[in-house]
Amino acid sequence: MGVELELAVLLAFAILGQSSFARFEIETPPARKILKWSMMSVLTVLLFRAVGHWALVLPATLAVLGTTFHLV
């Protein structure tokens, strides 16, 4: 399997993240949200080229940090 796994995880995080935490980002400008998801996607795909499926650690770590921040 190639980069499809990373893209599927990113899509799942985008869908679940927006569904679960949208109420916390009401005042966040759309450009900032787009930049956040674009940067995470680009970094994950670039890391995939370098370290393979270990690149999934990046979105997982960011998801845990974001969830912790929003819950606190």
- Each of the 72 residues of the chain gets a pLDDT tens digit; together they read 788 989 998 999 888 888 887 787 788 898 998 898 899 999 999 999 999 999 999 999 988 998 898 788
Distance of CA 72 to the CA centre of its chain: 19
Q: Measured between alpha carbons, how far is 10 from 5 in angstroms, rounded to an integer? A: 9
Contact between residue 72 and residue 27 where contact means Cβ atoms under 8 Å apart: no
Q: What is the DSSP annotation of 9-61?
A: HHHHHHHHHHHHHGGGGTTS-HHHHHHHHHHHHHHHHHHHHHHGGGGGHHHHH
Contact between residue 51 and residue 9 where contact means Cβ atoms under 8 Å apart: no
